Amino acid sequence: MKRVFIHTFGCQMNVNDTMRMTEALASMQYAATPTAESADLIILNTCSIREKAEDKMLSALGRYRQVKLQRGALIGVGGCVAQQEKQKILDKVPYVDFVFGPDNIQKLPEILQRIEADRVRVVETAWVDSESYVFPQADPGTSRGKATEFITVMKGCDNVCSFCVVPHTRGREVSRPFGDVLKEASALTTVGVREVTLVGQNVNSYRGGVSFAQLLLRTAQVPGVERVRFTTSHPHDLSDELIEAFRVEPKIMPHFHLPVQSGSDAVLKRMRRDYTVEQYLERLKKLRAARPGIAVTTDIIVGFPGETDEDFERTVALAEQVRYAGQFSFVYSPRPRTGAAMREAEWGTVEHAVKVKRLDRLNALQKRISVELNAAFVGKTVQVMVEGPSKTDASRRFGRSGQNTVVNFDGDAPAGSLVAVEIGHASASSLSGRQVRVESLPPVMIPEAAALVPESCVVA
Ligand code: 5AD
Ligand code: SF4
């Protein structure tokens, strides 16, 4: 048996791709190993969303060079940077043996065979066109013992947000047929998974035979699935039908990640986001009416080219008004071949120190709001899906509330249980309490029976 170490950068899409790489390599007798030093094959699954992610990958490559010198390990670069910068990687990093794009994961065994047979460097970054793309089917064995798992429902993005590199690295949108998604959800329940998160770059424009709202509702009906989540959405595709799904299906968890990016219409226009602040707020109002108490989180970019103090103040005012449960804020970084990078000189670069100041202000604001929102749970009882021992204190348990807040608690329920936790303490990032009741234990597994998807779930 040979050993493979995969270093994953970036988003959940990449984490899922890494799992599929591990499964593809198992057919070549490769087993996963937790350290690069013990590996015969090292793969970097890269992210290019911001410059920082790319820098991190380059410095990791430098470290792995030693392993190559000492053990003769093969080194491969996959993911978004590989797709966009294949030539640069090959030219600049002579010890990289192969480069492959996100569409070529299933070719990994073939790539390795070619390297072994011909001792050549291999590049596989061709797009597979939308009609013939087949999503890798997950092996449920990889998820054994996990209460919660992610399912890829689509890839790529047809939007043209001017800051974003994703359409260049992941290509056109392709949706996975809904029957395959439901089968995967069902297969995951056979190894103990009770919560699934449907993932894609832009899930609201899912077109896999049913609407995205229908896909959520059908996933919620798969026997053994107790909770359903999804990420990521674009506000301009947030349909009334999806909002209605939140009203009628309690298994869809009360959390919505709805990236706003900016609170200024002028900036949103240059970002090519296709909505105004007013339209965004109108969607949110409807969503909150359909599911009172829903937690809304967002992404914000500060220092986008041409962002003035007034533009930024509008973003602060929006964040105050919406009172997000969580905020992922980033300093704008120009990405190759994107619209904003090409027009930055015309729109005006925001000074780095100004960007950092704006980011600090948003983060401080979010901390205050998160503390206030979480404090409201103290003395209340919330339902938690247990994921395992607490990461901060192994004698305690940890899970997530419906709103997706981390809850650490004193208790004994096994992973996969749904428990009631009385909250005694809150911080900006988590809640803490004690288990007062077990609401349901994970079911006994009968793999053969549970692998079947009932007809009601797959009929369009
Ligand atoms: N610079 C900074 N942040 C970016 N994001 C995407 N592209 C850039 C960029 N060029 C952020 C957006 C997106 C999140 C995943 O990353 O906020 O929603
Ligand atoms: Fe990037 Fe915009 Fe597509 Fe999101 S919707 S992946 S930000 S282009």
217-237 pLDDT, tens digit per residue, is 999 999 999 999 999 999 998
Give percent of the chain with pLDDT exceeding 90. 87
Give the pLDDT mean for 29-45: 95
- Please report which confidence band the pLDDT of residue 130 belongs to, taking 50, 70 and 90 as the band edges: confident
Pocket of ligand 2 (CB under 6 A): 157, 159, 161, 164, 166-167, 201-202, 234
DSSP characters over 330-381: EE----TT-HHHHHHHHH-PPPHHHHHHHHHHHHHHHHHHHHHHHHTTTT-E
pLDDT tens profile 171-189: 999 999 999 999 999 999 9
Q: How far apart are CA 204 and CA 190, in angstroms?
A: 28
Query: Exposed e or buried b for every residue in 86-111, given b needs 16+ CB within 10 A?
Result: beebeeeeeebbbbbbbbbbebbeeb
- For ligand 1, the distance from its centroid to the CA atom of residue 307, given in whole angstroms, is 15
pTM over 0.95: no
The number of the ligand nearest the C-alpha atom of 234 reads 2
- For ligand 1, the distance from its centroid to the CA atom of residue 160, given in whole angstroms, is 13
- Please report which confidence band the pLDDT of residue 53 belongs to, taking 50, 70 and 90 as the band edges: confident
The number of the ligand nearest the C-alpha atom of 50 reads 1
Tell me the two tokens of residue 210: 């049913």
Q: How far apart are CA 268 and CA 399, in angstroms?
A: 36
Q: Whose CA is nearest to atom 17 of ligand 1?
A: 299
Q: Pseudo-torsion of CA 269, 275, 281, 287, nearest 10°? A: -150
The number of the ligand nearest the C-alpha atom of 301 reads 1
SS3 232: coil
Residues present in the chain in total? 460
Question: Residue 456: is its pLDDT beyond 50?
Answer: no
Residue 65 vs residues 35, 92, 113: alpha-carbon distances, Å: 14, 13, 22
Give the pLDDT mean for 97-109: 95
Tell me the two tokens of residue 60: 């990791």
Question: Residue 424: is its pLDDT beyond 90?
Answer: yes
Mean pLDDT of the chain, nearest integer: 93
Q: Whose CA is nearest to atom 1 of ligand 2?
A: 164
